[in-house]
Amino acid sequence: MFKPFKPPANGKEVTIDFEGTLLEVSQNITVAAAVLGHAKKNFTRLSNVNSEKRAPCCFMGICHECLMEIDGIPNQQACLIEVREGMKIKRQLGHPGVEK
């Protein structure tokens, strides 16, 4: 059975909206850490090439495996952005901005 990991509390929490689910997460952690720690299906995006699930790898802004839609803006590096109260986060499914 899935048991969500909750990062150690630093005394303050914020509420974020992850694809319609409200999550209470520690303040001062990155969006990538929040998603990996609280989501059942731990991936942040689907590959543009073959739709495989991708997840953060480097956590320092190099690999771009953590691209997510944050507050309506696609292609945000979730490993470099700290959570904020009320932030709306979605997985990035495919390549945004390319019309089919």
| 64: contact with ligand FES by CB under 6 A | yes
| 53: contact with ligand FES by CB under 6 A | no
Q: Determine if residue 38 is left, alpha or beta; phi over 0 gives left, psi from -120 to 50 gives alpha, anything else beta.
A: alpha
In angstroms, rounded to a whole number, what is the distance separating the alpha carbons of residues 70 and 78? 8
Q: Nearer to ligand FES by C-beta: 35 or 56?
A: 56
In angstroms, rounded to a whole number, what is the distance separating the alpha carbons of residues 42 and 45? 10
> Minimum CB separation from ligand FES for residue 59, in Å?
5
| 65: contact with ligand FES by CB under 6 A | yes
> Minimum CB separation from ligand FES for residue 11, in Å?
26
CA 85 to chain centre: 14
Q: Which residues bind ligand FES (CB under 6 A)?
A: 32, 56-59, 61-66, 77, 79
